[in-house]
Amino acid sequence: MRIHTSIKWALGAALSIAVLSLVVTAGSQAVPKVPQAVPKDEAKEFQSMVRKYIDIQKKALRQVPSIPKETTDAALISKHQQQVADAIRALRPNAMPGEIFTPWLRTTISAAVKQQVKGKAGADAKATIEGEGNPRSAESPSAIKLTINGAYPDKAPLSTVPPSLLMALPVLPDGVEYRFVGHTLILRDTKANIVVDTLPNAF
C-alpha cells in the first residue's frame, strides 16, 4: 500500500508540474507584444514644451484680426495665416531646430516611430507615410524647405500619419500636428501653416 501511495504521489506531482508548465507556456504565448511608445516622462516633457509654443500661438492670434470660423474664403484664410505666422515669428525670432524635439527626446521619439514602421507589421504604416501624399514624392508640385518658422507651401501635399503611429507618439493639443517630409518628422502649426520644429531621420 505504501508503494502504491508513493507512486500515486509521484504521478500526481509530475502531473501538477506538467500542467503548470503548460499554463505558463500558454500564458506567455497569449500575452501580446506591446508596441513601443514614447515613455510617459518623456511624453510629458515634450507636451510641456508644446504647450509653451501654444501659449505663443494664442498670443499671436490675439494680435491679429480674427476671421469667422465658418469662412471658406481661401484668400481670407491664407491672409490670416500669414498674419498669425508673422506675429509668431516676432514672438520667437531666434527659434532654432531642436527647441521642442530636444536632443534628449529625439532618440526616444525616433525609436517609437521606427518601431511602428519596421518589418512586415509596419509595412502598411511605412507605405502610408511614403505614399502619394508624401511631400517628397515626384507628384509634389512644390519643394519643401524645412525652415523653423518657415511657411509650409500651400500647394505641397500633407503626408498622412498612420493611426498606429499617432498612438505611439505624445498627444498634441489643437493647433499643432505631426507630419512627415520624407523621413523627417515635423511639428506643423495648423493655424499659421508654419514649421514649428523638425526631427530629421525619424525612421
pTM: 0.76
3-state class (DSSP) for residue 197:
strand
Q: Examine the pLDDT at 4 and tell me if it is beyond 90.
A: no
Q: Examine the pLDDT at 195 and tell me if it is beyond 80.
A: yes
The three grid cell numbers given for residue 101, joined into one nine-digit string = 524635439
What pLDDT does residue 149 have?
96
Q: Examine the pLDDT at 22 and tell me if it is beyond 70.
A: no
> In whole angstroms, what is the distance from residue 49 CA to residue 27 CA?
41
For the chain, the structural domain boundaries read 1-31, 40-199
What pLDDT does residue 17 have?
43
Quick one: what percent of the chain has pLDDT higher than 70?
A: 77
Q: Examine the pLDDT at 5 and tell me if it is beyond 50.
A: no
Neighbour count for residue 147 (Cβ, 10 Å): 13
Lowest-pLDDT range, 32-41, 126-135, 193-202?
Answer: 32-41
What pLDDT does residue 143 have?
62
Rounded to an integer, the average pLDDT of 15-42 is: 49
Q: Regarding predicted confidence, which is higher, 19 or 158?
A: 158
> In whole angstroms, what is the distance from residue 196 CA to residue 111 CA?
21
3-state class (DSSP) for residue 196:
strand
CA nearest to 115, candidates 198, 33, 197: 33
Crossing angle, helix 103-117 and helix 40-63, to 10 degrees?
110
The three grid cell numbers given for residue 198, joined into one nine-digit string = 523638425
What's the pLDDT tens digit per position in 77-116? 999 999 999 999 999 999 999 999 998 889 999 999 999 9
> In whole angstroms, what is the distance from residue 39 CA to residue 155 CA?
36
Residues 168 and 159 sit within 8 Å (Cβ to Cβ): no
3-state class (DSSP) for residue 188:
strand
Residues 168 and 35 sit within 8 Å (Cβ to Cβ): yes
> Mean pLDDT in the chain?
81
